[in-house]
């Protein structure tokens, strides 16, 4: 299966321009399966980058109520946010490379989440 250069560029732009690029691809080039696949991957990575600190904040707020250990435990849980950001950066770089190499592989850690997108 050969992927046209136009599809590769659209897929690359969906990662490079984050939400704007992904939405553009999904609105105007939905029939291009390769570009749409990478646009959904990009949206999942952006969602993970937004949700990671939000989930940490909610959990840390609850843990902070534990006297004595709540504060340090809440701060220690922030390492989960850092790990999520490292995974997002790795997935983003992998998506950029795969889009230019005409590979349609799910990004690590978050790629399976695209099946939950109603797009």
Span 41-70, pLDDT tens digits: 999 999 999 999 999 999 999 998 888 888
Q: What is the pTM of this model?
A: 0.87
Residue 116 pLDDT more than 90?
A: no
110 closest CA partner among 30, 60, 52: 52
Provide φ and ψ at 98, rounded to 5°: -65, -35
Residue 1 pLDDT more than 60?
A: no
Question: Quick one: which H or E segment has residue 6?
Answer: helix 5-16
Residues 8 and 78: their CA atoms lie apart, in Å, by: 36
95 closest CA partner among 23, 28, 8, 33: 8
Domain ranges across the chain: 5-113
């Amino acid at each position: 299966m050969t992927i046209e250069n136009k599809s590769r560029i659209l897929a690359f732009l969906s990662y490079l321009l984050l939400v704007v690029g992904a939405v553009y691809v999904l609105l105007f080039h939905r029939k291009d399966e390769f570009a749409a696949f990478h646009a959904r991957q990009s949206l999942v990575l952006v969602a993970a980058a937004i949700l990671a600190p939000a989930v940490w904040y909610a959990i840390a707020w609850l843990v902070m109520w534990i006297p004595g250990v709540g504060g340090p435990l809440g701060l220690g849980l922030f390492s989960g946010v850092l790990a999520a950001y490292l995974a997002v950066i790795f997935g983003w770089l992998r998506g950029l490379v795969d889009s230019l190499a005409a590979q349609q592989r799910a990004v690590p850690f978050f790629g399976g989440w695209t099946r939950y997108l109603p797009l």
